[in-house]
Amino acid sequence: MRARDKGKYNSCSMGAFWPIPYARLPRQIVDLSKEGKRRLEWFRWYKEHRHNARLTCRHFGIHPSTFYKWLKRYDPKDLLSLEDESRRPYEVRKPETTRETEELVVKERKEHPYWSKYKLEVVLKKGYGVNISASTTISTMLVGVSGLRGLIGPRGLSSNVSGFLLSYLFAHL
């Protein structure tokens, strides 16, 4: 290391360009989450070291693509731009089946516990004029109605086989 490089860190000087103590910073810093404050520290370091992004990434152990993503979002006048954005989708799917349809499925299942979801689909279509999918809608309703497996039937055997066996056994006793 040469004498003229003394006081430099990876060919960047260590001068402080942001000497304001945290007590005097805007109120927004108090409102930042732990992650937001960590990102603010990235940008403070970035500014102090002559806008050297790669050096900042190495110092904090972050990937450059992560740093550049936050650099695009960062607005020094709005520190809340350092907060995570909501991951909630813009539009949440709403259930398409009505409450009456759910009640019909539950009623039929309680009356005929050994009918398969496919038979329930046919009965609902012919008897009530309700056209719903057996593979997803009916099975989801049967599992999610009470959170219990009571509307699904016994474990281990398919409901058609177990229904046949039980009706045969009870008929021949």
47-92: per-residue pLDDT in tens? 999 999 999 999 999 999 999 999 999 998 888 899 999 998 888 8
Mean pLDDT score across all residues of the chain: 77
Instruction: With beta carbons less than 8 A apart as the criterion, state whether 45 and 60 touch.
Output: yes
162 vs 79, higher pLDDT: 79
User: Phi/psi at 92 (nearest 5 deg)?
Assistant: -95, 135
Say if 90 falls within a structural domain.
no
Shared domain check, 120 and 57? no
How far apart CA 27 and CA 23 sit, in angstroms, is 9
pLDDT of residue 116: 86
Shared domain check, 117 and 160? yes
Q: Which domain holds residue 143?
A: 99-171
Say if 159 falls within a structural domain.
yes
Instruction: With beta carbons less than 8 A apart as the criterion, state whether 138 and 132 touch.
Output: yes
Say if 32 falls within a structural domain.
yes
What is the count of structural domains for the chain?
2
Shared domain check, 120 and 78? no
Say if 2 falls within a structural domain.
no
Q: In this model, does residue 170 exceed pLDDT 80?
A: no
Shared domain check, 107 and 67? no
How far apart CA 151 and CA 161 sit, in angstroms, is 16
- The residues facing 12 across adjacent strands are 9
Shared domain check, 112 and 73? no
pLDDT of residue 22: 47
Say if 89 falls within a structural domain.
no
